[in-house]
Amino acid sequence: MGVSGAGKTTIGRRLADELGWQFSDGDDFHPAANIDKMRRGHALTDADRQPWLERMHAAIVDRISRNQPAVLACSILKTRYRAIVEAGCYDHLRLVYLQGSAKLFHQRLAHRVDHFMRQELLASQFAILEEPADALVIDAALPPAEIVRQIRSAVGV
């Protein structure tokens, strides 16, 4: 988890590839209206996010029911969002928070091409971010290989 530009997709894919697990990107769970709204430079409201959170939760429940390990990269910036996504699944999940500076993430977003999340929305993400107390916190400025190594070491996989 983390704000846009933290490296969630990059790290999530690398981790899933190394483990031979399924990877899912939280962006893929957004309704089309949410993506269109962000593409136009408008921040999502909690009401906008609700179906997105519910879809991710359903995917997690499905994977757990099928005993299918997976990596899910998603922002879930508020404690309330995490509670919805993780509900009833806490014993099966490990939350990793890719933490970093607005400057670093803004630089990364400036180099993205053809992504709906505009760099102008980064400030709105930092404004609502509630850093998790129960997550593995990793410095997002580290090289991807080191981040994946730290995750694997901490989680024991």
pLDDT in tens, 47-87: 999 999 999 999 999 999 999 999 999 999 999 999 999 99
State the residue for tokens 């999502």: 44
Report yes or no: 48 and 37 within 8 Å, Cβ to Cβ. yes
Report yes or no: 99 and 137 within 8 Å, Cβ to Cβ. yes
* Tokens describing residue 78: 């508020």
Position 112 scores a pLDDT of 62
Read off the pLDDT of residues 105-129 as tens digits, 9 standing for 90 and up: 888 877 766 655 555 667 888 888 9
Position 108 scores a pLDDT of 82
pTM (two decimals)? 0.87
Identify the CATH homologous superfamily for domain 8-155. Answer: P-loop containing nucleotide triphosphate hydrolases (3.40.50.300)
Domain-wise residue ranges, the chain? 8-155
Give the CA angle between residues 110, 72, 36 to the nearest 5°: 50
Helix 8-19 and helix 144-155: axis angle, to 10°? Answer: 60
Residues with Cβ < 8 Å from 87, sequence gap 6 or more? Answer: 57
Query: 94 by DSSP, 3-state: which?
Result: coil
Instruction: State yes or no: pLDDT of 18 exceeds 90.
Output: yes
